[in-house]
Amino acid sequence: MPDVQPAPLYSDITDAPPGGQVLWRTCADGVRIRVGVWPGGRRGTVLIFTGRSEYIEKYGPTIGRLLSGGYSVVICDWRGQGLSDRPHGKPNLGHVERFRDYQLDIAEMLAVAALMGLPKTHFLLAHSMGGSVALRGFAEGLKVSKAVFTAPFWDVKMSAALKLGASLISGLAPSVGMTDRRTPTTPLRSYIENAPYQGNLLTNDEATYRWLQRQVAEHPDLSIGGPSLGWLGAALTEMRHFRAIDPPLPPCLCFLGGNENIVSAKAVYDRMQDWPDGELVGIRRAQHEILMETPDVLTEVWSKIFAFLAG
């Protein structure tokens, strides 16, 4: 089987079901990424598009839920994060030159799914930044039967004044050779390493938060810090791009927490209002990490996800 080389998986902190394979794949532009495959489900294959700064191990319980529901899974570490290639000499920097480059990573996910003989009916589960990667994918021909979004990153959550300043700074960065500089005021290490549980912006479930902290404490090579000016500029460009076009859209179920403080809730409301076959579900008790929330939230969310996928 060509270009299938084993890659590491930190099973001590993953909490994923057995039977998965994690592989290195080299993208068309030479960037090496890590792709995980959990086969066995016959109802279809779920592509998991993770958020910024995330990695395969963080989705172990989510993979387990999908397998228990009868679905195979493919997931990757996006370029610039997890164990995939990062900017040379700046391993803590969250960086990408163009959001469009993530489409090269998707191509490898799909190639691995085909090589492994996974079911050809594809579904999508996209969280945060994965939501913007998905919109570009739909515009460029990605075909899925149905899509599920959790707290999709369809615009930056900041004031108009701050957004203007961010646009100016990130727009000037290429001309002065600073696209690989960390965005001012963002941390050198990941949010989960810096923020205590009390008052965190991710989840109300303390056990899950402690588990996420243990992941990066025991395997710091999974962690990245704040985004680069290049990443910020690319994100702002992507948001403007998708305000101007309407890609072909699959049936969609979208979840948004009532205590969302990471992505723009307004952007989610606006886009879902115009989604031809889409449903927006507000989870009043939830924060940003809806799939890593308290047990009562997870019971409600997964019940709706499985009903939607099977319906």
- The per-residue pLDDT for range 263-280, each reduced to its tens digit, is 999 999 999 999 999 999
pLDDT at 123: 98
Model pLDDT, residue 199: 97
Q: What is the pLDDT of residues 8-47, one digit of tens each?
A: 999 999 999 999 999 999 999 999 999 999 999 999 999 9
Q: Which residues of 258-296 are buried (b: 16+ CB within 10 A; e: fewer)?
A: eebebbbbebbeebbeebeebebbebeebbbbbbbbeee
| CA distance to 147, 275, 300, per residue, from 258 (Å) | 21, 20, 14
Alpha helices in 219-278 (DSSP H): 229-244, 265-273
Give 133 or 182, the one with higher predicted confidence: 133
Q: How many Å apart are CA 204 and CA 286, to the nearest integer?
A: 7
* pLDDT, average across residues 291-310: 98
Angle at 147 between CA 213 and CA 50, to 5 degrees: 25
Residue 160 phi, psi (nearest 5): -60, -40
- Distance CA(43)–CA(150), nearest Å, equals 21
Edge to edge, the sheet with strand 5-6 lists: 5-6, 21-26, 32-38, 72-77, 45-49, 122-127, 146-150, 252-257, 278-283
| 5-310 placed in CATH 3.60.110.10 | no
* One-character DSSP codes across 123-144: EEEEETHHHHHHHHHHHTT---
So what's the pLDDT on residue 87? Answer: 85
Upper half-sphere CA count for residue 249 (Cβ side, 13 Å): 22
Mean pLDDT calculated for residue range 280-308: 98
Rounded Cα gap, residues 46 and 43, in angstroms: 9
- φ and ψ at 113, to 5 degrees? -60, -40
* Tally of helices (H runs) and strands (E runs) in the chain: 9, 9
Q: Are 231 and 178 in contact (CB under 8 A)?
A: no
Its pTM surpasses 0.85: yes
Coil, helix or strand for 237? helix
51-96 pLDDT, tens per residue? Answer: 999 999 999 999 999 999 999 999 999 999 999 999 877 888 888 8
pLDDT digits (tens, 9 = 90+) for 164-209: 454 555 555 555 555 677 777 777 789 999 899 999 999 999 999 9
Query: Average pLDDT in the 280-304 region?
Result: 98
Q: Are 253 and 149 in contact (CB under 8 A)?
A: yes
Q: Which ranges of 179-223 does DSSP label H, i.e. alpha helix?
A: 191-194, 206-218
> For residue 11, how many C-alpha atoms fall within 13 Å in the half-sphere facing its CB?
8
